[in-house]
Amino acid sequence: MGLAVKVPRSGAEEARRRLAGLGLLDRGRRIMRDGEFVYIPVTGPVDLGFEVVSASLPASEPKAPEFRASYDVVGSVAILNDMDLAVEEARRLAELIMARHRGVRTVLQKVGEVSGVERVASFRVLAGDGVTETVYRETGCVYKLDVARVFFSPRLSTERLRVAAQVGENETVLDMFAGVGPFSILIARKHPSTTIYAVEKNPAACSYLLENIKLNKVEKQVKPFCGDAAEIVPQLDKQFNRVIMNLPYQSLKYLPMALSKCLLGAVIHLYVAEEREAGESVWESIRSVYAGLRLKETRVVKEISPRMVIRVYDLVVA
């Protein structure tokens, strides 16, 4: 039992601020409401015109430890992104992550950047059962994937929505590096009249792409192709209204191929890994080679490091 200020609900927030400003708020106990009144715990007698009563208020929940590390949660898997963290510190943070996110069963630490033709990062298991396959839900879509075998970034969710919002009815879209299908499937769900050709080279990612197409019931709209875009795209007997090129470290070399499959007025979403301040020079180099392209929009979609970013160039085939 301790002292508390009893105030009407309408004046509770103002009273709390006054008490906190004077150092009289007892942060060890919780503020509680009972009908039209609120009970604010205080550290001792208060002479501010408030009604002071004895009240049995429950203890405050302990404040969560300060957490500054960067991490992503993909379904039941959390990934610590700082590769420089010592193992002991990383494991301590992993335990905090599992306490904070009850649905997380495995915590990984990235130990190697995305690399190779399959676009896969390297990880070590810090905590949990070590299972890296999971189901992730985003914007009404569901994706099954293994974070240790495929590329997937939840940080691109806003970008995926941005692109999907631009798609018009009856468009034919080419997703040249589709991964497990987040661009293709979202577009199909939001625009039932579209047709999307989704190409993916990584066998594991393409297997999940096939499964995710069924999970999201977009079999009639998304046409999957498992193999190298360099071999598959030239064989497609189709011209496209829109091309998505989410292969930041190599996308520029595939640009001529993409252009050969574009209708007049088509939009290319070109993702490029570049130095933070290099946007204008990158666009100038693109324009100098491809005079028929017009820059519709460009923006940074993801930070890789203090110096490096991934930028998207929305290009119109004029």
| Tokens matching residue 307 | 């110096």
Model confidence over 239-266: pLDDT tens digits? 999 999 999 999 999 999 999 999 999 9
Query: For residues 302 and 280, what is the distance between their CA atoms, to the nearest angstrom?
Result: 17
Dist. CA 206–CA 226, nearest whole Å: 6
- Mean of pLDDT over the chain: 93
126-140: pLDDT as tens digits: 999 999 999 999 999
> CA angle, 206 as apex, 205 and 210 as ends, to 5°?
120
Ranges of each domain in the chain: 2-55, 71-131, 149-317
11-54 pLDDT tens trace: 888 889 888 888 899 988 999 998 889 999 999 888 888 899 99
For residue range 156-174, list pLDDT tens digits in order.
999 999 999 999 999 999 9
What is the model's pTM? 0.78
Q: Interior CA angle at 211 toward 207 and 212, to 5°? A: 115
Q: Output DSSP code: residue 253.
A: G
Q: Taking 90 as the threshold, does the pLDDT of residue 91 lie above it? A: yes
High-pLDDT (> 90) share of the chain, %? 78
Q: Does 71-131 carry CATH code 3.40.50.1820?
A: no
Domain 2-55: which CATH number of 3.90.226.10, 3.40.50.150, 3.40.50.300, 3.30.70.2580? 3.30.70.2580
CA torsion angle for 229, 157, 303, 97 (degrees, to 10)? -120
Q: What is the pLDDT of residue 35?
A: 87
Decide whether 71-131 matches 149-317 in CATH topology.
no
Q: Which two tokens stand for residue 214?
A: 């069924």
Residue 65 confidence class, pLDDT cut points 50, 70, 90:
low
SS3 85: coil
List Cβ neighbours of 80 (8 Å cut-off, separation of 6 or more).
69, 70, 71, 90, 93, 94, 97, 107, 108, 109, 110, 126
Best CATH choice for the domain 149-317 from the list 3.90.280.10, 3.20.20.140, 3.40.50.150, 3.50.50.60: 3.40.50.150
Q: Enter the tokens of residue 215.
A: 């999970």
> Which residue type sits at 233?
V
Beta-strand pair 262-275/293-303: unpaired
- Alpha-carbon distances of 250 from 101, 156, 226, 247, rounded to whole Å: 35, 18, 19, 6
